[in-house]
Structure 1
């Protein structure tokens, strides 16, 4: 809600995406964790690569028996890797479900905190707008009183209420006998 004459023209906040207060696991940290959790899978991959390398070496040298033996080892290593993946998946399933649940809870908490911060910001902006509205209303009331020529006592009451005094008034509250008006009268008289 915007008040005419509002100094706060910034739009209300939509999100706080720049907030990096929450810990997020990087790719390298995730890879390291996976290697520690399931070390047999990388071992099976390494054995498969070694068997393929040895098979290509034996093919170049022309040793058919060694080539066949290395291809069999490659198949065994791939089977070992698949079994390690299935067994590790079954073993770590409970942990993965807990990690997923924890991730969902932390995401929900982060969203809730973001929403609460957004609501607090809106409340602060609303309070600022209400204060600006009060100041504007006092200024309008003071201006109306000056135009109507209210008595000195009413003008002082308005000033104590927080209205802003006219630029034509001096400090003693003499109404339209302020220093600016006197200076304008002097200039007008010199002209004529």
Structure 2
């Protein structure tokens, strides 16, 4: 069999170099883009601080969850099942607080944008 190569027709007519039309005037840059153009990528620390300032109750709830979980595990190893159960229940409450804070923060910021 002979090797057949297919050449598809180009969609634009071929032109010699330098024969392309000059781009038209772009005009002024929209003001909405000023914030995006001057932004640089945030570091992890900067982003954490910014998000904590936006919704401070989420990190508080996360910290309470970690404390309750740690104390519950500690009491499990210590053998105090009553206190361990109490800490696990507190952990569930702290997780609920965190989720509620997250949802309320989202609702607040969406209503603030309008």
- 2:100 aligned residue: 83
Give, in whole Å, the separation in 2 of the partners of 1:83 and 1:52.
19
How many residue pairs are counted as aligned between the two chains? Answer: 80
The structure 2 residue matched to 1:72, chosen from 73, 78, 89, is: 89
Cα RMSD of the aligned pairs, angstroms, is: 2.0
Deviation at residue 32 of structure 1 after TM alignment: 1.5
- 1:22 aligned residue: 38
Deviation at residue 94 of structure 1 after TM alignment: 3.5
- What is the TM-score normalised by the length of structure 1? 0.38
Residue ranges of structure 1 left out of the alignment (5+ in a row):
4-20, 99-192
Residue ranges of structure 2 left out of the alignment (5+ in a row):
1-15, 19-36
Question: Displaced runs of 4+ in structure 1, greater than 3 A?
Answer: none
Give, in whole Å, the separation in 1 of the partners of 2:85 and 2:39.
50
Structure 2 counterparts to residues 159-174 of structure 1, below 5 A? none
Give, in whole Å, the separation in 1 of the partners of 2:62 and 2:17.
64
Relative contact order (alpha carbons < 8 A, sep ≥ 6): 1 or 2 greater?
Answer: 2
Residues 2/75 of structure 1: CA separation in 2 closer, same or farther (3 Å cut): closer
- 1:59 aligned residue: 76
Deviation at residue 31 of structure 1 after TM alignment: 2.2
The structure with the largest alpha-carbon Rg is 1
